[in-house]
């Protein structure tokens, strides 16, 4: 009897936990939709803010976020994938590999504001790139790097060693086996994590705060050295520094909704892609 | 004609003395079966012939192995060339997650010595030789993973044949297959005798009896008995061979 009661209360506890987390998510999404959807329109998406950001849209912020994320991914993915390939296939000593992996994991756990400060010190000041698209993208790339390395390493480890054996046994050199078999086989998984990283990078505020963004800039970036607007920072700025909150808070929620939809669609692309590729080549 | 000759071959993995003084002469264009209980070093012996043991740390190897007139453990040995000339098929079918065509063309493409047209005709010829052409000719560009297990294993054979090997090493190639696919691969081995020397590891004594001209019996890293299959099976010289063949162990 006591035991039954105990297991019953356990089940109730589990359900409560699940319902709480789902409920939280639903509440959160709905409240953003309710508060944000009223301002969203084609014009909101495609025009620049006007009148001290009390009117107009988010186009420059959208474009800025696109360029920041795109560049950060373009920079971090090759470096990350090649680091993972080195760690997985070339690094000889296991001590060295685990040391590097500890470093990478530590880096992955560093709060993003620290990346912001680091980016400011290194790219903005020391290297003299100033507050610019370039500095922001580089800072985001550094943030993305450990994630890409870890995900790629996982992807490479999940490739069955049988394939490498087969490649060697057919006369392929180590380099050929890696380039023609290991990396292509791991590619679906690498690609999925690259897309997820894109979503993560697109939503970051702290790393670009001191390195890339302008509070208010109606111009689209013309070069890597321009300041840009970015969606997450736009929301932050509207909520904290706005002086006309009655007009600006709805715009902030509208931007939040756009950002949320953007990140969700990026993640679901990754999921669909993973599903498709898995189905196409099973092993 | 002798195709492979080992002299005083000893192999250690660390402290594990895996091959002990192996001396054997493998005849050209014959099927040689290697039998013996699990863990006795059959796979290891096979993998010395295309130097696939080189990947194991703490490998120590002494003695010589001649393939044709080449000492394959000399320093200057071109491993890519060796592995093209001494093909290998594994226990578990392991086609690449690529198309059927790309699987067979893989060896040629890494060599990079053939024109597109040559590659195509070699691929076709290899698939024919592995008795797979008719089953796959209409879907050369679909994934190899969609083939059945038996077809995948024949694809692996075709893939090895595309390199125009002189020797084909088969490590328990049928142990993951159903009886029908097994029979097909056995017949295929017999048919391939004209073009390559075949070495097949098997734990299936009947299979060795069916397809091999010569049989080697290994026990605890030693080559206990080696001779014509008929003689080994009917009048084994060593008591351990007899015990193994009659099913006392293994
Ligand atoms: N990669 C390896 N590293 C270390 N030891 C190995 C390796 N492969 C095989 N061995 C050892 O070598 C011995 C022979 O193994 P193997 O040649 O696979 O036997 P068989 O194929 O006859 O079953 C076994 O004791 C096994 O543990
Ligand atoms: Mg074995």
Of B92, B110, B160, the CB nearest to A172: B110
Tokens representing residue B131 in the block: 């008795």
Is A276 touching B (CB cutoff 8 A)?
A: no
Min distance A1 CA to chain B CA atoms (Å) = 51
Q: Percent of chain B having pLDDT more than 90?
A: 95
Q: Which of B161, B112, B113 is nearest to B133 (CA)?
A: B161
Of B55, B92, B106, the CB nearest to A170: B106
CB contact under 8 A, A169 and B160: yes
C-alpha B31/C-alpha A276 separation (Å) is 44
- Is residue A255 included in any domain, yes or no? yes
Q: Which of B22, B86, B70, B56 is nearest to B219 (CA)?
A: B22
Residue numbers in A near B107 (CB within 8 A): 170-172
- Nearest ligand to residue B18 Cα: 1
B40 in contact with ligand 1, CB cutoff 6 A: yes
At residue A10 the predicted structure's pLDDT band, cuts being 50, 70 and 90, is confident
Tokens representing residue B22 in the block: 């192996």
**Prediction pTM value:** 0.86
Is A189 touching B (CB cutoff 8 A)?
A: no
Do the beta carbons of residue B90 and residue B156 sit within 8 Å? yes
Closest ligand 1 atom, CA of B44?
Answer: 17
**Cβ-proximal residues to B79 (8 Å cutoff; 6+ apart), any chain:** A171, B51, B54
B42 in contact with ligand 1, CB cutoff 6 A: yes
C-alpha B133/C-alpha B119 separation (Å) is 15
Average pLDDT of span A157-180:
96
Residue A8 has pLDDT above 50, yes or no: yes
Of B94, B96, B110, the CB nearest to A171: B110
Name, of A18-32, A38-52, B172-186, the range with top average pLDDT: B172-186
Residue in chain A closest to B97 (alpha carbons) equals: A281
CB contact under 8 A, B97 and A176: no
Q: Which residues pair with B2 in a beta bridge?
A: B27
Closest ligand 1 atom, CA of B45?
Answer: 17
B18 in contact with ligand 1, CB cutoff 6 A: yes
C-alpha B88/C-alpha A170 separation (Å) is 8
Handedness of CA A68, A74, A77, A78 (dihedral sign): negative
C-alpha A282/C-alpha B146 separation (Å) is 8
* Number of separate domains in chain A: 1
- Give the tens place of pLDDT for each residue, B201-234: 999 999 999 999 999 999 999 999 999 999 999 9
B229 in contact with ligand 1, CB cutoff 6 A: no
- Is residue A127 included in any domain, yes or no? yes
- Is residue A34 included in any domain, yes or no? no
Tokens representing residue B217 in the block: 């019996």
Burial class (CB in 10 A: 0-12, 13-18, 19+), B106: buried
- The predicted pLDDT at position A93 comes to 82
- Give the tens place of pLDDT for each residue, B143-194: 999 999 999 999 999 999 999 999 999 999 999 999 999 999 999 999 999 9
**Cβ-proximal residues to B150 (8 Å cutoff; 6+ apart), any chain:** B177, B178, B180, B181, B182, B184, B185
Q: Which of B38, B39, B217 to mutate to test the pocket of ligand 1 (most atoms within 8 A of CB)?
A: B39
Residue A1 has pLDDT above 70, yes or no: no
Q: Whose CA is nearest to atom 24 of ligand 1?
A: B39
B87 in contact with ligand 1, CB cutoff 6 A: no
Tell me which of A149 and A222 has the higher pLDDT.
Answer: A149
Do the beta carbons of residue B11 and residue B54 sit within 8 Å? no
- The predicted pLDDT at position B82 comes to 96
Average pLDDT of span A101-128:
92
- The predicted pLDDT at position B165 comes to 96
B181 in contact with ligand 1, CB cutoff 6 A: no
- Is residue A271 included in any domain, yes or no? yes
**Cβ-proximal residues to B112 (8 Å cutoff; 6+ apart), any chain:** none
Residue B17 has pLDDT above 70, yes or no: yes
- Is residue A4 included in any domain, yes or no? no
**Residue the block writes with tokens 């017949």:** B187
Residue numbers in A near B109 (CB within 8 A): 180
Residue A2 has pLDDT above 90, yes or no: no
- Domain range list for chain B: 2-245
Q: Which residues pair with B215 in a beta bridge?
A: B33, B227
Tokens representing residue B247 in the block: 């099913």
- The predicted pLDDT at position A283 comes to 46
Give, as residue ranges, everything with CB less than 5 Å from ion ligand 2. Answer: B 43
C-alpha B87/C-alpha A49 separation (Å) is 67
Question: How many angstroms is it from B39 CA to the middle of ligand 1?
Answer: 6
Residue B200's H or E segment, with its range, is strand B197-201
Do the beta carbons of residue A79 and residue A236 sit within 8 Å? no
Tokens representing residue B179 in the block: 């009886």
Q: Where are the alpha helices (DSSP H) in A86-230?
A: 94-109, 112-119, 133-157, 161-169, 174-177, 183-203, 206-209
Of A166, A173, A181, the CB nearest to B80: A173
B14 in contact with ligand 1, CB cutoff 6 A: no
CB contact under 8 A, B94 and A173: no
**Cβ-proximal residues to B15 (8 Å cutoff; 6+ apart), any chain:** none
Q: Whose CA is nearest to atom 16 of ligand 1?
A: B41
How many CB atoms are located within 10 Å of the residue B113 CB? 9
Domain B2-245 fold is Rossmann fold (3.40.50)
Q: What is the CATH number of the domain that holds A141?
A: 1.10.3720.10
Closest ligand 1 atom, CA of B36?
Answer: 22
CB contact under 8 A, B94 and A282: no
**Cβ-proximal residues to B110 (8 Å cutoff; 6+ apart), any chain:** A167, A170, A171, A172, A173, A176, A180, B80
Residue B59 has pLDDT above 90, yes or no: yes
Min distance B183 CA to chain A CA atoms (Å) = 24
- The predicted pLDDT at position B126 comes to 96
Pairing mode, if any, of strands B167-171 and B197-201?
parallel
Tokens representing residue B196 in the block: 């390559």
């Amino acid at each position: 009897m006591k035991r039954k009661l105990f297991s019953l209360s356990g089940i109730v506890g589990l359900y409560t936990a699940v319902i709480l987390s789902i409920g939280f998510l639903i509440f959160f999404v709905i409240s953003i939709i309710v508060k944000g959807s009223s301002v969203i329109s084609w014009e909101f998406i495609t025009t620049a803010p006007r009148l001290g950001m009390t009117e107009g849209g988010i186009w420059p912020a959208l474009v800025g976020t696109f360029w920041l994320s795109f560049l950060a991914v373009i920079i971090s993915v090759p470096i990350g994938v090649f680091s993972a390939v080195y760690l997985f296939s070339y690094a000889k000593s296991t001590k060295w590999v685990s040391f590097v992996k500890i470093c990478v994991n530590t880096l992955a756990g560093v709060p993003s504001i620290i990346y912001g400060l680091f980016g400011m010190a290194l790219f903005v000041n020391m290297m003299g790139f100033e507050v610019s698209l370039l500095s922001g993208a580089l800072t985001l790339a550094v943030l993305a790097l450990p994630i890409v390395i870890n995900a790629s390493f996982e992807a490479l480890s999940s490739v069955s060693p049988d394939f490498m054996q087969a490649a060697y046994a057919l006369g392929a050199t180590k380099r050929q086996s890696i380039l023609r078999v290991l990396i292509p086989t791991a590619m679906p998984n690498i690609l999925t994590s690259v897309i997820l990283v894109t979503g993560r990078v697109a939503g970051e505020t702290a790393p670009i705060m001191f390195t890339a963004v302008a509070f208010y800039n109606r111009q689209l970036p013309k070069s890597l050295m321009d300041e840009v607007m970015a969606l997450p920072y736009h929301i932050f700025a509207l909520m904290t520094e706005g002086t006309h909150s009655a007009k600006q808070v709805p715009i902030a929620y509208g931007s939040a909704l756009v950002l949320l939809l953007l990140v969700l669609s990026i993640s679901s692309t990754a999921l669909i892609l993973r599903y498709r590729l898995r189905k196409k080549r099973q092993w | 004609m002798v195709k492979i000759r080992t002299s005083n071959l000893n192999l250690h993995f660390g402290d594990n003395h895996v091959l002990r003084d192996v001396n054997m002469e493998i005849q050209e264009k014959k099927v040689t079966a290697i039998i013996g209980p699990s863990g006795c070093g059959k796979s290891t012996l096979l993998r010395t012939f295309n130097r696939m043991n080189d990947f194991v740390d703490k490998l120590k190897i002494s003695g010589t192995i001649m393939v044709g007139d080449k000492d394959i453990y000399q320093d200057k040995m071109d491993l890519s060339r060796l592995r093209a000339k001494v093909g290998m098929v594994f226990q578990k079918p392991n086609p690449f997650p690529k198309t059927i065509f790309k699987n067979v063309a893989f060896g040629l493409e890494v060599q990079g010595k053939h024109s597109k047209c040559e590659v195509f005709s070699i691929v076709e010829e290899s698939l024919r030789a592995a008795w797979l052409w008719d089953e796959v000719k209409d879907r050369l560009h679909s994934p190899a993973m969609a083939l059945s297990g038996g077809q995948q294993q024949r694809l692996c054979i075709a893939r090895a044949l595309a390199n125009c090997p002189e020797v084909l090493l088969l490590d328990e190639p049928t142990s993951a297959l159903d009886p029908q696919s097994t029979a097909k691969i056995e017949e295929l081995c017999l048919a391939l005798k004209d073009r390559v020397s075949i070495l097949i590891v098997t734990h299936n004594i009947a299979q060795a009896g069916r397809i091999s001209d010569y049989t080697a019996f290994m026990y605890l890293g030693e080559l206990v008995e080696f001779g014509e299959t008929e003689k080994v099976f009917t009048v084994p010289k060593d008591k351990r061979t007899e015990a193994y063949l009659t099913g006392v162990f293994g």
